Chains A and B, each alone.
Chain A
Amino acid sequence: MIIGVEHYMIVSVVLFCLGLLGVIIRRNLIVMYMGLELMLNAANLALVSFSHFRDNLDGQVMVFFIITVAAAEVAVGLALIVALYRKRQTNDVTDLTSMKL
């Protein structure tokens, strides 16, 4: 059986849903962040598979930019989590319900 674009798409969709599940059911901010990373990776996989099966490199360039932006986003987000932990001594979202620091 030949592996086509739809196989990669299904892997990508399932991975995206796993990341979404992580954001929904986990209450720890860091693990929720890992769920976000999984979702970004799923989008990357979909783009690379489109790029492969269309003989077009634009998708790969897009993935390159997504990886860069994701790295910047992780750095800033983790700095925010550390700053929040310093203020409130917790990183559990059920304790972080008030808008005021």
Chain B
Amino acid sequence: MQEILFYIFSALTLLCGLLVVFNPFSRNPVTSAMFLVLTIISMSGLFVLLKAFFLAAVQILVYAGAVIVLFLFVIMLLDVKEEERRRYQKFGTFLGFAAVTGLAMLIINTINQSGAGHTLTGDGVAETKPLGKLLFTDYLLPFEIVSILLLVAMVGCILLSKREETPEAEAE
């Protein structure tokens, strides 16, 4: 059962990931954002299979809930029609495909040769409690630093999106 679920979820993740970046039917960024939601939801399915239940929930809440909404807000502010009028540069697309395929082959070959499947054979910790304990004991300092980082990001966003009060800005 686990095997079948793994194959279903990973196929969904990769298919939707491909449709985010290379969709033959639509060039609209909104379509890309919607497929990004599907990618993230099927990836949280993979997290559940790996017994990381807390992270699966956080993935859906933070990514599908907050990040994608932010993306959609920004897409609404910008001009989406412009993207559809442009064409892919054929040569660049071909070279990009070739380079990325080569990179993928290289890393997959390395993974196959490393034999990690024989040495790493754990079964995972299926509880959230030890994770919380670890977060508030060993990782307390990084946790606090991340909270400061969020504050800095918030202040930075407000500063960046505030309209400038210069005469030049008023003239626009």
Chain A: residues with CB nearer than 8 A to chain B? 1-11, 13-15, 17-22, 24-28, 30-31, 33-35, 37-38, 41, 44-45, 48-58, 60-61, 63-65, 67-76, 78-83, 85, 90-92
Chain B: residues with CB nearer than 8 A to chain A? 2-3, 6, 10, 13-14, 17-18, 20-22, 29, 32-33, 36, 39-40, 43, 46-47, 50-52, 54-55, 58-59, 62-63, 66-67, 70-71, 74-75, 77-79, 82-83, 86, 88, 92-93, 96-97, 99-101, 103-104, 107-108, 111-112, 116-117, 120-125, 130-131, 134-135, 139, 142, 146, 149-150, 152-154, 156-157, 160-161
Please name all residues of chain A whose beta carbon is closer than 8 Å to the beta carbon of B99 when the two chains form the complex. Answer: 24
> Is A92 touching B52 in the complex (CB atoms < 8 A)?
no
Interface centre among B3, B21, B22, B97 (most CB of A within 10 A): B21
> Is B104 touching A55 in the complex (CB atoms < 8 A)?
no
> Is B67 touching A71 in the complex (CB atoms < 8 A)?
yes
Please name all residues of chain A whose beta carbon is closer than 8 Å to the beta carbon of B96 when the two chains form the complex. Answer: 21, 24-25
Q: In the complex, what distance in Å separates the CA atom of A67 from the CA atom of B149?
A: 13
Residue among A17, A28, A60 making CB contact with B29, cutoff 8 Å:
A28
